Structure 1
């Protein structure tokens, strides 16, 4: 492959990874909106759209394999292709977590424990993803480290949210041993609690994947593995 064509392929790979990240971020936003609005149609769009993300992932995976096999890149180009390969894997997994949110939105019948601000957690993860992808796009190492630092705050927020759910569950009237609560009502309450805890866990995982993207990007830029774990 002529040098100009090779450089064009590298540029196209970066553009395609960035496009995939935009689609994934949109699906995550849709999942959060579906949860907030109890919108089953929107939730179904997120779930049905997962196939598109999977196909996008497989196409980009093949592009990375072809560049590695046919061009045998070295140094910075090798790190870029390897980082892109790892990043699309994290993006695909974030899309899976967005699909989970769609499923929770369909199953949930009502809001439980309004003290837990799921949308705030979701916005925070979207900001982290945006920061990680901007670092990849513009090759800004400080933004990679900023995403890793933000994850510590997200972990604390998710931990506090989970504790709030457990505390409120213990204090709620339905959980009071003296309250007249049917088995069906208790089962519904526990299912709602379980979905909320899973939502918090999944958003925390989105943050973890954003950190993975930042870590691979930092290695791509500076050959620095300090964020890789």
Structure 2
């Protein structure tokens, strides 16, 4: 393959990964809305559309494989191809997490009041978008900034999870003290547990979205500077 065509394929690979990132972010934002409002139509749109993300991932996988097999890239070109493959894998998994989140919305929408779901979810999505932008621009400092933000997200998720569980335990003790009876308790407890379960699952998956953002930033940094400091 002439060098000019080879370079065009590398540039196209990078562009296609960025486009996939934008597409995943759109689906993720729709999932946030579905989860927060309990909108079944929005949830169905995200869940049934997951195959489109998978198709994009498989196309990128094929392109990376072909470039590796036929062109045997070295040095920076090799890091670009391998980083692109790993980043597309993380984006596909963010798409999977979006389908999870879309399905967590309750019948009345929303989550436990101790969970600031929208801010947590949006911040995690912003981290993914910023990591993809760092990959696109080849910006090492932006990669490190994304990774540093993950500590704050993890801490906020931890506090939210603890608040949900603590509130459930305190509410249950208060009901026991007030009522002095178990009458009607199973139904109330089942409803409370459903709320808690959905909230804890949502927090867990938002935290994982942040982890994938760090993975993307780590691969982008390795691509740019041959530096594996963020790769766990």
TM-score (norm 1): 0.95
Aligned to 2:188: 185
1:186 is paired with a residue of what secondary structure? helix
Is residue 167 of structure 1 aligned with residue 166 of structure 2?
Answer: yes
Measured in 2, the distance between the counterparts of 1:20 and 1:111 equals 28
1:23 is paired with a residue of what secondary structure? helix
TM-score (norm 2): 0.94
Q: Is the 8 A contact 1:31 1:42 kept in 2?
A: yes
Stretches (4+) displaced over 6 A: none
Measured in 2, the distance between the counterparts of 1:17 and 1:207 equals 18
Once the two structures are superposed, the pairs formed by residues 74-85 of structure 1 within 5 Å of their partners are 74-85=74-85
Once the two structures are superposed, the pairs formed by residues 87-166 of structure 1 within 5 Å of their partners are 87-105=87-105, 107-166=106-165
Q: Render the CA deviation track for 1:4-27: whole Å, top value 9, x for unaligned.
A: 110110111111100100111111
1:176 is paired with a residue of what secondary structure? helix
Once the two structures are superposed, the pairs formed by residues 28-67 of structure 1 within 5 Å of their partners are 28-67=28-67
Alignment: residue pair count: 228
Q: State the Cα RMSD in Å.
A: 1.5
Q: Render the CA deviation track for 1:45-66: whole Å, top value 9, x for unaligned.
A: 0000101111110111000000
Measured in 1, the distance between the counterparts of 2:110 and 2:104 equals 11
Q: Is the 8 A contact 1:115 1:164 kept in 2?
A: yes
C-alpha deviation, 1:169, in angstroms:
0.8
Aligned to 1:204: 207
